[in-house]
Amino acid sequence: MDVIFLVACCVCLVAGRPQYAYPAATPVPILVDERIPIDLQGGYGFRIQTGNGIAWQETGAATSKSGQYTFTHPDGTPHALSYTAGVGGFLPVSDLLPTPHPLEPWHIEQIRFAESQRAAAASASAATVA
């Protein structure tokens, strides 16, 4: 009985394996690999460039960093992004980042109305407490 169960498990494993053969990975040459070792204050830096068009550089210290990277999308669109990161968070800058849709005049009116309602409720609450 145990042998039949073992054979059944093996058949299920073989039948369930992926049938797709993935193409072999093509090695990408590293063209530039420059590194500034971490110093006593936590500062560091690096610059990397690969044979497939990816470039990345960054410098930083213990509490902040800045850098940029570039590459080309499969459709040929170049992508460039620069950033800073620190106490204020991660702040990326790129033409390809989505931006908020511009507010229509009725949006602005609704925002002003909501602010006036909040102010009225706060003053009514303050008058009740006093």
In a domain? residue 12: no
Count of structural domains, the chain? 1
In a domain? residue 86: yes
DSSP 123: H
In a domain? residue 124: no
Per-residue pLDDT tens over the stretch 9-31 = 555 555 555 666 778 888 999 99
More confident site: 127 or 120: 120
In a domain? residue 106: no
φ/ψ (deg, to 5) at 105: -55, -35
Q: Which amino acid is at 72?
A: T
CA 54, CA 33: separation in Å to the nearest integer? 12
The whole-number pLDDT of residue 94 equals: 94
Average of per-residue pLDDT values in the chain: 86
The whole-number pLDDT of residue 124 equals: 85
In a domain? residue 82: yes
Instruction: Say if residues 100 and 82 touch (Cβ distance below 8 Å).
Output: no
pTM (two decimals):
0.58
Q: Which two tokens stand for residue 100?
A: 């908020």
Q: What one-character-per-residue DSSP string does 106-121 give? A: HHHHHHHHHHHHHHHH
Residue range of the domain that includes 74: 27-97
Average pLDDT over residues 111-125: 91
In a domain? residue 118: no
In a domain? residue 78: yes
Instruction: Say if residues 72 and 62 touch (Cβ distance below 8 Å).
Output: no
- Left if phi > 0, otherwise alpha if psi is -120 to 50, otherwise beta: which for 121? alpha
Q: How confident is the model at residue 59 (pLDDT cuts 50, 70, 90)?
A: very high
